Amino acid sequence: MMLHTKNKFSRINEIIQLVTEQEPERNDVVKALKKCSYGRWTGSDYYKFYLPANSNKRAGLQVKETLMLEHERLGFILLDVYRNGSIAGIEFLNLIEE
């Protein structure tokens, strides 16, 4: 189970490291992940990040792409990126309840 404290995602540094290793040309995603801090679990497998209070919530909030990463213990991880470049959320495929 993923640990989080007061809606803060505790494994963000691991996700940043995965992107750095598996998608080394994606500095844009690394920068966006560094801006992510708080969010909430919307199910057993998906962590959705909150938008900054000063963001235009309508502009660019369609998912543009999904990156697939693989973690040795957590399995496959999908990283959703909005059209505006911010991170929508992270899905942990091995945590999906059937």
pLDDT tens per residue across all 98 residues of the chain: 444 445 678 888 999 999 999 999 999 999 999 998 789 999 888 999 987 655 555 556 789 999 999 999 889 999 999 998 999 999 999 876 65
Q: DSSP letters along 53-87, please? A: TTS-SSTT-SEEEEEEEEETTTEEEEEEEETTS-E
Q: Where on the phi/psi map is residue 29: left (φ > 0), alpha (ψ -120 to 50), or beta?
A: alpha
Query: Could you state, in order of their start, the residue ranges of all structural domains in the chain?
Result: 4-95
How is residue 22 written in tokens?
């598996």
Please report the pLDDT score of residue 51 as a whole number: 72
Helix 12-22 crosses helix 27-35 at what angle (to 10 degrees)?
180
The half-sphere exposure of 57 on its side-chain side, counting CA atoms within 13 A, is 5
Please report the pLDDT score of residue 1 as a whole number: 44
- How far is it, in rounded angstroms, from Cα 22 to Cα 12? 15
